[in-house]
A and B are shown apart, each in its own frame.
Chain A
Amino acid sequence: MPPRPLSPHLSVYQFKYTLTTSILNRCTALALSVGLLLLVYWLMAVASGAHAQARAARWLSGPLMKPVYAALIMAFCYHLVAGIRHLVWDTGRGLERAQAQRSAWLVVALSIALTLLIGYCAWLAGARAP
């Protein structure tokens, strides 16, 4: 007899708050790991002398980098808040269905608010700089 087919999973399952918050947590973690390369590049440039540092500063403050930073800040905020949610879960709390639904929305709202706050502070710092 030929092998039995596997019933469909990812292609048919509804993307509810459970799956969505979980996959976002993983995607943001991945984005942050890739984003760390920028920091590594900056640190290496600083260590390699004034010339390399100036070139890195020019490159990293280019107009195309702003959306990248915005995305990374957002990813960081989401990952931070979602991580705290996981920490609370690991104490055995907040795992009832209604609680998990509420905290899913809370994570999204808080991460957006935190992103805006950091963005505002960055804008303030930028406005004050010479």
Chain B
Amino acid sequence: MAEFRLPANSRIMKGVTHAAPPGTRAVRTVRIYRFNPDSGANPRLDTFELDARSCGPMVLDTLILIKANVDSSLTFRRSCREGICGSCAMNINGVNRLACTTATRDLAPEIRIYPLPALPVVKDLVPDLSNFYAQYASVKPWLQTRTPVPADRERLQSKEEQERIDRPAACILCACCSTACPSYWWNSERFLGPAALLAAYRWIIDSRDEAGGERLDELEDPFRLYRCHTIGNCTDVCPKDLNPARAIAEIKKMLLERHS
């Protein structure tokens, strides 16, 4: 059942304000969700006032600046800083995106940063993604075959067959899409979510895979697949411009065709 309100231990309290250094002419205000598991206190929203000129171009640069100069306890994930690892996915000004590919100049003067929505928070901007990864693993994201490998060559595919899976295979598992989906917010225990379903689709349409039928069997479930109500937040937020909504629609079509 949809639980619209946050549990009591998750309500956000007023946080502390770190004023801008004296002599700052252009102030950039960044509000960041903070949660310290050791304090036992509720999460809070801290305000950081920064010298806009000292901030780098991307939101990730700003976070790194805060961690280096203002509050070293600020915790967030980051790695590649070029949108290929998916570590720095977070909710920035109300939309899930990668901090490293989001330019501060494209945002409103005030930046508000929260962890990815509707997940258990480990610390600050670091959510617990165990369930998300388990769901990804549950669609068996690897090649399954029944026939023996040809003796003289690999399992080949045509250029067109490869191009069909190019886009869905480019998913970086940042979880922006799944945690932008209201159906996933209310039913993350049972609904697989757009990222896992996109991965399932990628293997179903792979010309070399021979377990398409079983893969569809696994998905045919009121919750696992059909909790998708085509809201479209997934495709709207994907930082890699992939289309989980279309992948899910295609899976539903395949199931329908199988029944007719």
Contacts and interface: CB of A to CB of B under 8 A. Distances in A.
Interface of A: 1-14, 16, 18-19, 22, 86, 89-92, 95-97, 100
Contacts of A10: 4, 182, 185
B9 interface: yes
Interface of B: 4, 6-7, 9-10, 12, 33, 35, 37, 40, 42-43, 91, 93-95, 112, 114-122, 127-128, 180, 182, 185, 229-233, 235-236, 241, 243, 245-246, 249-250, 252-253
B231 A7 contact: no
B143 to A, nearest CB: 25
B118 to A, nearest CB: 4
A92 B9 contact: no
10 contacts: A4-B122, A5-B9, A5-B121, A6-B120, A7-B120, A14-B94, A16-B233, A18-B231, A22-B229, A100-B236
A86 B230 contact: yes
Contacts of B116: 7
B231 A19 contact: yes
Contacts of B249: 89-92, 95
Contact of B43 (A5, A16, A86, A97): A5
Contacts of A12: 91, 94, 112, 114, 117
Contacts of A90: 230, 249, 252-253
A97 B12 CA distance: 32
Nearest to A96: B243
A13 B94 CA distance: 4
Contacts of B250: 92
Contact of B120 (A4, A16, A92, A100): A4
A120 B135 CA distance: 52
Given A19-B231, A95-B245, A6 B91 contact: no
Contacts of B35: 5
A5 B91 contact: no
A79 B232 CA distance: 17
Contacts of A2: 9, 40
Given A12-B117, A13-B91, 12 more contacts: A1-B37, A3-B9, A4-B37, A4-B120, A4-B122, A6-B118, A7-B33, A7-B114, A7-B116, A8-B10, A9-B182, A95-B235
Contacts of A100: 232, 235-236, 245
